[in-house]
């Protein structure tokens, strides 16, 4: 861990009420004392710790006032990084915070790297690696539900579960070592039975975590939902209704939507990445043709398809093509324009698409949207998700480590059943313990640590 002092702007760029410059390291207060002059105290080090102090940032070279600020000094180790930390609350806007940061850098600090404040919190032992990753998830959360999941991880619920599983593995390894060192027949038999029982517990607990991965992926990345159908069936109207705003152009002219429109939306706690596509049809228009091809390509990566049909017209070849395209996909069927006389034979759709949910709607009358939203939640969450009672795995890195750990313990259990020697079983148990340690950072490599924190913003 570097002992140098780092600094960065901790607030988002742009105009705001305040902008914060954060300093962390051994020289944080010395740098602040060079720049800060208070109304009631001469230096920030003379002010009461952990309380905002009013004053000015002064350029020590010229004696000129740079900004009117509130500053606070937080002494190690009870800080975010466990180091001395100073935060200077400037006026919001790019110029005040930039000028203050430049002075801080000129007087002994260096510019922080991406995620370096959180990286120092991890390396100094205040948080583990999964908690550090939860910080970024918390910042980027798109719904209240995904926020709650990230907060649970930040509080260490996933870490606690992983450490409990690793402790069981350590007990298994202890039993194995004793039997290897003291190879008596009765001890060995007891060891096989004991590690088999503990191995099944480890497997079950890892599997329980892996069972949450799909839900976690949806909460973290959003549910990629493609709106599909032939032209002029109401796809763009559906997008506008879900967004509660006129995002897409809606006309009676077929083929109005030619490019892909993407928007994030929160529906019943589910972050949806809604994709409105060009209408599926044969066309000679070059631009529209490109849009149709992009729509078909998007289907390969979609988590869900909302297939829209015009209930006021009889089914056409284009409709049958859409049905053929989505028959093996997770999909919801929307029979739109039911405010007009219905001519579509619903039974034909049921024959083609089996038990896929069919919802009757009218974008003009705002009918069917509530039912669609409820169906989306029921499909993916199977009712109410009680985040406070569950550990949900949202991180791809964690998923991969859990998959490797599950395979390790599965191989160990198979080896026990085959009566293989304990030293062979020990290898799989150790690998399982090591792979789980990658989640909390106990056994992770430096390269992975660097890669994780490079995804953070500069001031965090």
Instruction: Give a yes or no: residue 289 inside a domain.
Output: yes
400 in the same domain as 377: no
Over 60: is that where the pLDDT of 105 sits?
A: yes
Query: Are the C-beta atoms of 307 and 333 separated by less than 8 Å?
Result: yes
Over 60: is that where the pLDDT of 454 sits?
A: yes
368 in the same domain as 421: no
Q: Is 87 annotated as a binding residue?
A: yes
Q: What is the mean pLDDT of residues 453-457?
A: 80
Residue 87 to residue 118: CA distance in whole angstroms:
15
Q: What's residue 403's pLDDT?
A: 97
Q: What's residue 386's pLDDT?
A: 45
Q: What's residue 382's pLDDT?
A: 56
Over 50: is that where the pLDDT of 388 sits?
A: no
Q: What's residue 202's pLDDT?
A: 97
Over 60: is that where the pLDDT of 370 sits?
A: yes
**Angle between helix 129-140 and 157-181 (nearest 10):** 160
Residue 97 to residue 62: CA distance in whole angstroms:
18
Residue 372 to residue 237: CA distance in whole angstroms:
14
Q: Which helix (H) or strand (E) holds 124?
A: none
Beta bridge partners of 362: 367
Q: What's residue 383's pLDDT?
A: 43
Q: Is 277 annotated as a binding residue?
A: yes
Q: Is 232 annotated as a binding residue?
A: yes
Q: Which residues contact 2 (CB under 8 A, 6 or more apart)?
A: none
CATH at residue 373: 3.40.50.300
Q: What's residue 446's pLDDT?
A: 86
Q: Is 278 annotated as a binding residue?
A: yes
344 in the same domain as 267: yes
Q: Is 254 annotated as a binding residue?
A: yes
422 in the same domain as 343: no
CATH at residue 57: 3.30.1360.120
229 in the same domain as 307: yes
Q: Is 257 annotated as a binding residue?
A: yes
Least confident of 214-218, 290-294, 299-303, 421-425: 290-294
Q: What is the mean pLDDT of residues 20-41?
A: 96
Q: Is 126 annotated as a binding residue?
A: yes
Specify the pTM: 0.77
Total Cβ atoms within 10 A of residue 67: 20
Q: What's residue 29's pLDDT?
A: 97
Instruction: Give a yes or no: residue 460 inside a domain.
Output: no
Buried/exposed 165-184: b ≥16 CB within 10 Å, e otherwise: bbebbeebbebbebbeeeee
Q: Which residues contact 265 (CB under 8 A, 6 or more apart)?
A: 242, 243, 271, 272, 274
Q: What's residue 381's pLDDT?
A: 62
3-state secondary structure of 318: helix
Instruction: Give a yes or no: residue 126 inside a domain.
Output: no
Over 90: is that where the pLDDT of 260 sits?
A: no
Q: What is the pLDDT of residues 238-256, one digit of tens each?
A: 888 887 765 543 334 334 4
343 in the same domain as 291: yes
Q: Is 150 annotated as a binding residue?
A: no
Q: Pick from 332, 308, 328, 306: which is nearest to 318 by CA? A: 308
Instruction: Give a yes or no: residue 124 inside a domain.
Output: no
Query: Are the C-beta atoms of 181 and 175 separated by less than 8 Å?
Result: no
Q: What is the mean pLDDT of residues 285-293?
A: 53
Q: What is the pLDDT of residues 188-241, one digit of tens each?
A: 777 888 899 999 999 999 999 999 888 888 788 778 888 888 888 888 888 888
Query: Are the C-beta atoms of 311 and 338 separated by less than 8 Å?
Result: yes
**Angle between helix 235-243 and 369-381 (nearest 10):** 80
Q: Is 253 annotated as a binding residue?
A: yes
188 in the same domain as 108: no
Q: Where does a domain end: 112, 145, 164?
A: 112
440 in the same domain as 403: yes
Confidence label for 291 from pLDDT (cuts 50, 70 and 90):
low
3-state secondary structure of 250: coil
Q: Is 251 annotated as a binding residue?
A: yes
Q: Where does a domain end: 357, 381, 405?
A: 381
The whole-chain average pLDDT of the chain stands at: 85
Instruction: Give a yes or no: residue 119 inside a domain.
Output: no
- High-pLDDT (> 70) share of the chain, %: 88
Q: Is 256 annotated as a binding residue?
A: yes
Instruction: Give a yes or no: residue 229 inside a domain.
Output: yes
Higher pLDDT, 459 or 306: 306
Over 80: is that where the pLDDT of 11 sits?
A: yes
Over 50: is that where the pLDDT of 257 sits?
A: no
3-state secondary structure of 245: coil
Q: Is 252 annotated as a binding residue?
A: yes
25 in the same domain as 98: yes
Over 90: is that where the pLDDT of 414 sits?
A: yes
Higher pLDDT, 14 or 65: 65
Q: Is 125 annotated as a binding residue?
A: no
Over 80: is that where the pLDDT of 282 sits?
A: no
Q: Is 460 annotated as a binding residue?
A: yes
Q: What is the mean pLDDT of residues 119-143?
A: 90
- Tokens in use for 41? 């105290």
Q: Where does a domain end: 112, 145, 175?
A: 112
372 in the same domain as 228: yes
- Tokens in use for 251? 């006309």
Q: Is 39 annotated as a binding residue?
A: no
Q: What's residue 294's pLDDT?
A: 67
Count the domains in the chain. 3
Q: CA 399 → CA 3, 7, 392, distances in Å?
A: 34, 34, 11
Confidence label for 296 from pLDDT (cuts 50, 70 and 90):
low
Q: Is 368 annotated as a binding residue?
A: no
Q: What's residue 279's pLDDT?
A: 55
298 in the same domain as 364: yes
* Residue 73, domain extent: 6-112
Residue 62 to residue 178: CA distance in whole angstroms:
72
Q: What is the pLDDT of residues 141-186, one digit of tens each?
A: 877 888 888 888 999 999 999 999 999 999 999 988 888 877 666 6
Instruction: Give a yes or no: residue 118 inside a domain.
Output: no
Evaluated on CA atoms 116, 118, 121, 122, the torsion sign reads negative
Instruction: Give a yes or no: residue 37 inside a domain.
Output: yes
CATH at residue 430: 1.20.120.430
369 in the same domain as 236: yes
Residue 216 to residue 409: CA distance in whole angstroms:
23
């Amino acid at each position: 861990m570097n002992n140098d002092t780092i600094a960065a702007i901790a607030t988002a760029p742009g105009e705001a009420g305040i902008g914060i410059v954060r300093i962390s390291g051994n020289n944080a207060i010395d740098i602040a004392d060079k720049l800060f002059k208070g109304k009631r105290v001469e230096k920030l080090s003379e002010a009461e710790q952990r309380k905002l102090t009013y004053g000015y940032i002064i350029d020590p070279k010229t004696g000129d006032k740079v900004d009117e600020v509130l500053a606070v000094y937080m002494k190690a180790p009870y800080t975010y990084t466990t180091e001395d930390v100073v935060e200077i609350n400037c006026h919001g806007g790019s110029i005040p915070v930039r000028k203050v940061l430049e002075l801080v850098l000129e007087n002994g600090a260096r510019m922080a790297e991406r995620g370096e404040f959180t990286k120092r919190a991890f390396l100094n032992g205040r948080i583990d690696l999964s908690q550090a990753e939860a910080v970024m998830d918390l910042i980027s959360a798109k719904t209240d539900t995904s926020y709650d999941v990230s907060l649970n991880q930040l509080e260490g619920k996933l870490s606690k579960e992983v450490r409990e599983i690793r402790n069981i593995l350590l007990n298994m390894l202890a039993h194995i070592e004793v039997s290897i060192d003291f190879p008596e027949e009765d001890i060995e038999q007891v060891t096989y039975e004991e590690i088999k029982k503990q191995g099944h517990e480890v497997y079950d607990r890892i599997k329980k975590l892996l069972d949450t991965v799909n839900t976690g992926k949806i909460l973290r990345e959003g549910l990629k939902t493609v709106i599909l159908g032939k032209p002029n069936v109401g796809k763009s109207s559906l997008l506008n209704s879900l967004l509660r705003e006129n995002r897409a152009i809606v006309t009676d002219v077929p083929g109005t939507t030619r490019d892909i429109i993407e928007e994030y939306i929160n529906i019943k706690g589910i972050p949806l990445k809604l994709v409105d596509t060009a209408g599926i049809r044969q066309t000679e228009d070059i631009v529209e043709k490109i849009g149709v091809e992009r729509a078909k390509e998007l289907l390969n990566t979609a988590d869900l398809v909302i297939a829209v049909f015009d209930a006021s017209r009889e089914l056409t070849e284009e409709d049958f093509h859409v049905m053929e395209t989505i028959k093996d996909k997770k999909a919801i069927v929307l029979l739109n324009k039911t405010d007009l006389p219905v001519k579509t034979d619903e039974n034909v759709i049921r024959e083609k698409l089996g038990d896929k949910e069919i919802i009757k709607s009218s974008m003009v009358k705002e009918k069917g949207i509530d039912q669609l939203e409820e169906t989306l939640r029921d499909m993916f969450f199977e009712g109410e998700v009680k985040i406070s009672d569950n550990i949900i795995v949202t991180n791809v890195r964690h998923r991969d480590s859990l998959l490797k750990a599950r395979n390790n313990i599965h191989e160990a259990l198979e080896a026990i059943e085959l009566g293989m020697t304990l030293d062979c079983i020990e290898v799989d148990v150790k690998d399982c313990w090591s792979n789980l340690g990658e989640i909390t950072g106990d056994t992770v490599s430096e390269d992975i640590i660097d890669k994780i924190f490079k995804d953070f913003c500069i001031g965090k």
